Structure 1
Amino acid sequence: MQADLDRWFIHEILAHEQALMAFLRRHWPHPDEWHDLRQELYTRIYEAASRTLPTQPKAFLFASARHLMADRLRRAKVVSIEPMGDLPPSHVLVDEVSPERWCGGRQSLRRLAQALDRLPNRCREVVWLRRVEELSQKDVALRLGISEKTVEKHIAKAMRLLADALFAGEPAPAPTASAPGKAEPGHGRK
């Protein structure tokens, strides 16, 4: 079976390599990626043909090339929302955490939980699956029965709302040591 598939691939797909490269040169603006595109395309076609041979191999080859280029363009447009820059390490020894720092961390976590709770249901669900359960964008879309584009929109909306809730409002009060019986600023009594 493998030898038959190899022969089919050579005669039906590799026979069009020159036309394929001309097609990629005409339609893909990055010359340094032409060979990578070709190899990825060959891999996709070989894997697909191992399941079912296409009835029109040449048409399948060029349609697959268009789809691959469209996928690459879509991926290039996705903007990462991962944190940037050097962040202080979050792993510290327990004896290094002062009561003030511990309290400040608890307050920040409480504010984040409240901000998450105020998100619209679908946004909250998408953020949870994407950031907490660490599912891929595609898996989130499949699980919720929505498009990947909709997942992107929910993430963007949620990030804006969370940023507004956490940073645009009044700054969180600095943790202070208060005497017993006295309320901390911003909490309890007015």
Structure 2
Amino acid sequence: MDTTLDAWFVSEILVHEAALVQYLRRCWTQPDEIVDLRQEVYVRVYEAAAKARPQQPKSFLFASARHLMTDRLRRSRVVSIEPAGDFESLNVLVDEVSPERRFGARQILRRLAAAFDRLPGRCREIVWLRRVEELPQKEVALRLGISEKAVEKQIARGMRLLAEYYHGDDAAPSAPRRGETARAAEPAD
């Protein structure tokens, strides 16, 4: 141990203990932590002085105390990312996909693809650009050389036809083929 450092610490730092404790009580809201804060300030000052003695020890002592309180406040505001409980018992973790769920998902995908394939060509293209590629309505209209209103109508028509086929039975009205009009393809009420 460095006896000169110890002597310096006693003569330059410990003489301000009463003022330091008063400062900590005035600034820190939890009185039960004052003793711990004081000790931590002393450790910081002692370790720093072991490397190089400060020119103004009292100012250095109080600056160290202020920095310590600031550090503690910052740490108290940080939210821990450590798990707060046993997530396994809560069934929060992602389950492995069962073969039944995988098969069901494939069936849904096949049915949706079949419904999509039944859409008229232009309608299918517009639905693809708008819903799959997520292009804005204006860009779809510009790309296809049609009005935004036409895009809007084709999207509505495509969604209706997809829903009819997907949610209805296999006998749901199919999209009109080339040469047929939309009215002719729809069942009469």
Q: TM-score, normalised by structure 2?
A: 0.50
Note the C-alpha offset of 1:184. Answer: 3.1
Secondary structure of 2:8 counterpart: helix
Which residue in the other structure is 2:98 paired with?
Answer: 175
Q: What is the TM-score with the length of structure 1 in the denominator?
A: 0.50
User: Which residue pairs with 2:106 in the alignment?
Assistant: 184
Does the residue aligned with 2:44 lie in a helix, a strand or coil?
Answer: helix
1:25-174 map, 5 Å: 25-88=25-88, 104-105=95-96, 174=97
- Greater shift in the superposed pair: 51-60 or 77-86: 77-86
Q: Percent identity?
A: 55
Size of the aligned set, in residue pairs, is 108
How far is 1:79 from its partner? 1.1
Q: Which amino acid aligns with 1:54?
A: P
Distance in structure 2 (CA, Å) of the matches to 1:184 and 1:18: 76
Change (3 A) 1:68 1:175: same
Report the structure number with the largest CA radius of gyration. Answer: 2
Give the match's secondary structure for 2:53. Answer: coil
Q: Which has the higher contact order (CA 8 A, sep 6+)?
A: 1
| Contact 1:9 1:46 (C-alpha < 8 Å) held by counterparts | yes
Closer, same or farther in 2 for the Cα pair 1:4/1:86, shift >3 Å? same
In structure 1, the partner of 2:16 is 16
Show CA shifts across 1:89-114 (max 9, x none).
8xxxxxxxxxxxxx944xxxxxxxxx
In structure 1, runs of 5+ residues without a counterpart are 90-102, 106-173
> Once the 2 structures are TM-superposed, how far is the Cα of residue 183 of structure 1 from its aligned partner?
7.1
Superposed displacement of residue 188, structure 1: 7.6
**Pairwise CA RMSD:** 2.8
Other structure's SS at 2:17 match: helix
Quick one: distance in 2 between partners of 1:176 and 1:77? 45
Could you say what secondary structure the match of 1:83 adopts? coil
Task: Give per-residue Cα distances to partners, 1:50-103, cap 9 Å, x unaligned.
Answer: 0000000000000110000000111111111222222228xxxxxxxxxxxxx9
Amino acid at match of 1:31: P
